[in-house]
Amino acid sequence: MAPLPKRKLSKGRRGRRRNSYASTKIVKAVTCKHCKEQKLPHRVCENCGKM
Ligand SMILES: [Zn+2]
């Protein structure tokens, strides 16, 4: 019998153990195709309002 955890970890606790939260903090910026401004990926550009 392999050792098993007594309880299922909630999504939050599982994330904390793997520390994936730390990697999500690193925000990558991409250049907007329309106005060449720095914007967040998958977000509407703050400068021109386009995706
Ligand atoms: Zn833009």
**pTM of the model as a whole:** 0.44
CA of 36 to the centre of ligand 1 (A): 6
What type of residue sits at position 50? K
The pLDDT value given to residue 21: 61
The pLDDT of residue 23: 64
Q: How far is the CA of 39 from the centre of ligand 1 (A)?
A: 7
Q: How far is the CA of 38 from the centre of ligand 1 (A)?
A: 8
Rounded distance from Cα 10 to ligand 1 centre (Å): 39
16-30 confidence digits (pLDDT tens): 766 666 666 777 889
The per-residue DSSP string of 1-51 comes to -----SSPPPHHHHHHHHTHHHHHTS---EE-TTT--EE-TTS--TTT---
- The string of pLDDT tens digits covering residues 35-50 is 999 999 999 999 999 8
Distance 45 CA to ligand 1 centre (A): 5
